[in-house]
Amino acid sequence: MATPFEPRAAADAARLIAGYPLAWVVSRAFHSSPLPLLAETDASGAIVSLFGHCGRRNPLVADFRADARGLILFNGPQGYVTPQLLSRSDWAPTWNYAALRFTVDVEFVEEETREAIERLVAAMEGDRWSTDRLGARYEAMLGEIIAFRAHVVAAEHSFKLGQDESAEDFAEIVAGHPDRILAAWMEEQAKP
């Protein structure tokens, strides 16, 4: 059964990752690292895997080689919503946010390490910068890094962005909230 806090469309989760790519990657041994990841989607826009890289010395590498199951957590736009934004005196404060939680099986894809770095640089830099600028240093760096693909086993998404507010309260929050990015996500998720 759908909850009021699910994203409006499957592609919204991928859009959140594109805008907020830094995720906590957590092993069953409870090692964790914040790592930037790229969403890989199917034809419907649903995320099927997350692609990234990390240092070979990161404890996650040994953990995921021993047990591939892990957890990946993304935080998107978020912010406190003060009662001062509303004309009603009996409204309580809340926190609005968009967050993604993935249970994954991690597969190391060493042969895709260069591609993982190139894709991330392209996503972050566009044509403003290229790994070509690193020269010989780039090849040395590649030996210290390993790519991985985290295959999605289960996903839970919570886009708590005011969908449960009355139309009047929602309009006041969106109009007055100082975080205009959060307000834009609220408006976008409220559309039918």
Per-residue confidence band for 28, with pLDDT thresholds at 50, 70 and 90? very high
Give the span between the Cα atoms of 127 and 177, in whole angstroms: 34
Per-residue confidence band for 188, with pLDDT thresholds at 50, 70 and 90? very high
Q: How far is CA 31 from the centre of its chain?
A: 19
User: Once rounded to an integer, what is the mean pLDDT over residues 77-103?
Assistant: 96
Q: Which two tokens stand for residue 12?
A: 């919204």
Picking from 165, 176, 184, the residue whose alpha carbon sits closest to that of residue 94 is 165
**pLDDT at 1 (0 to 100):** 41
Give the span between the Cα atoms of 69 and 58, in whole angstroms: 16
Q: What's the distance, Cα to Cα, between the start and end of the chain in Å? A: 17
Give the span between the Cα atoms of 49 and 36, in whole angstroms: 13
User: Once rounded to an integer, what is the mean pLDDT over residues 92-118?
Assistant: 97
**pLDDT at 3 (0 to 100):** 63
Residue type, 186: M
Give the span between the Cα atoms of 106 and 90, in whole angstroms: 47
Please name the residues in contact with 54: beta carbons below 8 A apart, sequence gap of 6 or more. Answer: 25, 33, 35, 60, 61, 145, 146, 148
* CATH number of the domain located at residue range(s) 10-190 in this protein: 2.30.110.10
Q: How does the average pLDDT of the chain come out, rounded?
A: 95
Task: Look at the block and give the residue holding tokens 């998107």.
Answer: 76
pLDDT of residue 25 exceeding 50, the answer is yes
**pLDDT at 43 (0 to 100):** 93
**pLDDT at 33 (0 to 100):** 98
pLDDT of residue 2 exceeding 60, the answer is no
Task: Look at the block and give the residue holding tokens 């890989």.
Answer: 40
**pLDDT at 37 (0 to 100):** 98
User: Once rounded to an integer, what is the mean pLDDT over residues 109-137?
Assistant: 94
User: Once rounded to an integer, what is the mean pLDDT over residues 43-71?
Assistant: 97
Picking from 112, 101, 79, the residue whose alpha carbon sits closest to that of residue 181 is 79
